[in-house]
Amino acid sequence: MHLLKHFVFLAVSGAVAIAGVQSATLDTIIIGGGFSGLSAAKTLAAAGNSYLVIEARNRTGGRVENAQLPGGGYTEVGGEFFGPTQDHALNLAKELGVDLYETYNKGDNVWYLNGHRGRSNAGGLFGSVVPDIDPISLAQVVTVQYALDKMAKSINVAEPWKSAKAAEWDKMTFGAWLDERWLSKDGRAVMDAATTSIFSAEPFQLSLLYTVAYIASAGNAKNPGTFERLTSTGGGAQMYRVVGGTEILATKLADKLGHQNIALSSPVQTVEKKSDGEYSVVLRNGTAFTSKTVVVAMSPPVAGLINYDPPLPSQRTELCKLMVMGSIGKAIATYKEPFWRKAGFSGQAVSDSGTTRATFDQSL
């Protein structure tokens, strides 16, 4: 019997005055201190532009955050994995002197599928993707993934909406596309489980264009994006973790940018374009900053909470109102030792039902 030492559950959904900045006109104000906002600041700093990053929370990093465990050590309550084709993230880690280590990926993965429990080797066919299912269902899953990978090759990764079939694919949900494949019960369960693990959303909540574009973006200049790359651990998007936790990347980048250029605990109320063409960014506490340009580095639903004067184009406003972000809960259980390894398991499990849909070994 193995004693559960600690259990941490986290639900994930998504006023400062800077001396000398309020009275000056900056080149750019960046709203949002996640990796998008910090990366924009890094680019501006390299070009010699003046800027201010404004973040509503009391920390940088956005959807990456470390948490201290009650018994000592840390865990990541947000994003935690890197893949070998995620060049920008890998280069940033190298630039900041942050080390990576490989996610434990030895032994068998466990699948709970349509009421049955199975196991498959973590280093076998498709790695984390396909369980030990009947040959017909397996062939269907392989065929569907091949079709998705082929579609992804036609995507303009930088501007997916300009791809040849963008309009056609954006009219259909990924779930509807899967319906047309006439998968077996097990085959469909595999695709549904893989989709929720990747996107934190059900297939019917995703447009086909978004799904295919996301697959395409899993590659780099030398390797095309594939569905398998998104779902796999070894050689895939879950291959690496950050020594010290992913939030350390944001912390070190913020240190490099200089905290005098970052305003935390500063929710923005209004962005107003003035008659002289400059912008006034007003915080909820009334503090105002002026800049020549503004970068809104936030998800559409959160960006839509800001008042814009003049208003954003109607299509953009509707996007902010109607787009729904993926929603997932994350729980961390700690034990004295990773006992599953001695039993021949990787610690990775995926289920098509129940509260827990996916697990990983977070041990250092």
Residues annotated within the binding site for FAD are 36, 55-56, 268
What letters, b where the CB count within 10 A reaches 16 and e where it falls short, cover 122-144? bbeebbbbbbbbeeebbebbbeb
- The span from the CA of 289 to the CA of 25, in Å, is 8
**Cα–Cα distance, 118 to 349 (Å, whole number):** 10
Helix-, strand-, coil-residue percentages of the chain, each rounded to 5? 30, 25, 45
3-state secondary structure of 287: coil
Distance CA 213, CA 160 (A): 6
Q: How many CB atoms lie within 10 A of CB 294?
A: 22
* Residue stretches of the annotated binding site: 36, 55-56, 268
**Token pair of 362, please?**
């977070």
Q: Where would I find the H helices in 20-173?
A: 35-46, 87-95, 135-152, 166-170
Contacts 24+ apart (CB under 8 A), 268-271: 268/31, 268/54, 268/56, 268/306, 269/306, 269/307, 270/306, 270/307, 270/308, 270/309, 271/31, 271/296, 271/306, 271/307, 271/308, 271/309
Two tokens at 29? Answer: 């104000």
Helix 135-152 to helix 208-216 angle (10° resolution) is 80
Which of 273-276's residues contact partners 24+ apart within 8 Å by CB, and which partners?
273/309, 273/310
Pinpoint the alpha helices (H) of 72-219: 87-95, 135-152, 166-170, 174-179, 185-199, 208-216
Q: For tokens 């032994």, name the residue.
A: 107
| Residue 306, token pair as written in the block | 């800001």
Tell me 163's DSSP state.
Answer: S
Instruction: Quote the distance between the C-alpha of residue 253 and its chain's center.
Output: 18
